[in-house]
Structure 1
Amino acid sequence: MAAVRDSAELDRMFDDLEHLNLPADYRVEIIEGEIIMNPQRKVHSKIIQLLTMALTDALGRKANILWDVRVDFPGYLNGFAPDVALVKDGAEEDEAGNHDYRDVEFVAEVVSRGSRRADYEAKLNVYAVAGVPTYLIADPKSGLVHVHHDPREGKYTDEVVYTFGSTFTLPYPEVTIDTSDWPRDHRASRT
């Protein structure tokens, strides 16, 4: 499994960002050394809420479900804040209060205009290299949910695509997800 070798550098970068007057409704991540800021929109937030509720209903209130919490992943300066992450029961935090990426069992990202490339490319690759068993991409623009599963040799070997409005069971954790009330993003795209 790949190792995170640059957590100290990520700590410095995030510390520097904390001293800036960043807008409260933006999520900040560092992806391959690049600082990425994306606004949190209502559609994005609602899908995160509904997905988190489904996980909580199935796994219980004590499940270690995170949203927008930094986890350092393998590769060059990858300090991600997944929209939703499930961490193993009993996983311990390090002295800084962070979880090890090897304890992440499920990740979901909700695509926004500014995160499309990162969610479908960079994060897809990094989560597979990290061995995250299941990676869900919810795309409110296309109305599709991509479920990537079973990472081997740095690539996901299984992908199933569902449409918003359907109900399906994740391969891991085995949780049923009902997308019948997931909102769509009908804003016009920039050209």
Structure 2
Amino acid sequence: MTVMAERPMTGGTESDSFEDLLRTLDELDVPDGYKAEIIRGNIVVSPWSKGYYLDVMELVCEQLRPYLPAEHRISYGPFLYVFPGSERAYGPDIHVAHRRASRISSTHLDGEALSFVAELTSSSTRDDDMTDKVEVYGRAGVPVYLLLDMQEECATVFSMPSAKGYKSSDTKPFGEKLGIPAPFDCVLDTTDFTAP
């Protein structure tokens, strides 16, 4: 498989069922530095983030950790959350879920167990992060979706999930503070989120 940097690669056909795509995804040998997700009926392979994104992910985790709901864990990294009703499977950059959600032997975690998700955009994932994922996370009832637009250097927090996505959003440029709603009820300082 050849993968091009900063450009997603897709595979799958209209006739593939969601379960078939999940099996294919499980068998896929994804090269180091890439992740695979199921978006709009396709397996999408995209490069991992730029180095400084790690600092941003750690800053988000450090700031939110004291405000986590009881028995919830915040993490970043390659875990696949599935949304069977929407036929999607995402590997969010940052995720918060109850600890029992990960006490399974499957590599497919329940997307509806999430209480918070954050995505850091790249040129290859930005459109999906800003459209498809907003709708799917909202329909699944994820209370808070934080979108860090690394190209435009701004943060948007989505809340009040609904059948069409989210009913509420608030956007601030990097460098300002952004309120993170329930169940966290805290303020996120985005001062150090800009590119070096």
Instruction: Answer yes or no: same fold by TM over 0.5.
Output: yes
Q: Which has the higher strand share?
A: 2
- Cα contact 2:141–2:161 (8 A) shared by 1: yes
Rounded to whole Å, the distance in 2 between the matches of 1:59 and 1:126 is 22
Partner of 2:12: none
Pick one of 58, 62, 83 that aligns with 2:93. Answer: 83
Q: Secondary structure at the match of 1:99?
A: strand
- Cα contact 1:111–1:140 (8 A) shared by 2: yes
What is the total number of aligned residue pairs between the two structures?
Answer: 177
Pick one of 25, 41, 48 that aligns with 1:14. Answer: 25
Q: Secondary structure at the match of 1:14?
A: helix
Structure 1 residue 130: Cα displacement: 0.7
- Please list the CA deviations of residues 99-132 of structure 1 after superposition, one character each: whole Å capped at 9, or x if unmatched: 3222111111001000011101111111111111
- Please list the CA deviations of residues 62-101 of structure 1 after superposition, one character each: whole Å capped at 9, or x if unmatched: 7412323100014453111011111035446444154322
Partner of 2:55: 46
RMSD over aligned Cα atoms:
2.4
Partner of 1:167: 177
Rounded to whole Å, the distance in 2 between the matches of 1:130 and 1:168 is 23
Which 5+ residue runs of structure 1 have no aligned equivalent? 1-5, 186-191
Give 1:16-165 correspondences, 5 Å limit.
16-17=27-28, 20=29, 22-39=30-47, 40-59=49-68, 63-67=72-76, 68-88=78-98, 90-91=100-101, 93-96=103-106, 98-165=108-175
Q: Which amino acid is the alignment partner of residue 33 of structure 1?
A: G
- Cα contact 2:80–2:107 (8 A) shared by 1: no
Structure 1 residue 134: Cα displacement: 0.9
Rounded to whole Å, the distance in 2 between the matches of 1:146 and 1:28 is 24
Partner of 1:3: none
Q: Higher relative CO (CA 8 A, sep ≥ 6), structure 1 or 2?
A: 1
Q: Which amino acid is the alignment partner of residue 56 of structure 1?
A: R
Partner of 1:189: none
Rounded to whole Å, the distance in 1 between the matches of 2:90 and 2:27 is 16
Rounded to whole Å, the distance in 2 between the matches of 1:114 and 1:140 is 12
Q: Normalising by structure 2, what TM-score? A: 0.79
- Cα contact 2:18–2:41 (8 A) shared by 1: no
- Please list the CA deviations of residues 26-56 of structure 1 after superposition, one character each: whole Å capped at 9, or x if unmatched: 1221112212222221133222221122222
Q: Secondary structure at the match of 1:150?
A: strand
Rounded to whole Å, the distance in 2 between the matches of 1:90 and 1:15 is 22
Return structure 1 stretches of 4+ with deviation > 3 angstroms.
Answer: 57-60, 74-77, 89-95
Rounded to whole Å, the distance in 2 between the matches of 1:15 and 1:59 is 30
Which 5+ residue runs of structure 2 have no aligned equivalent? 1-16
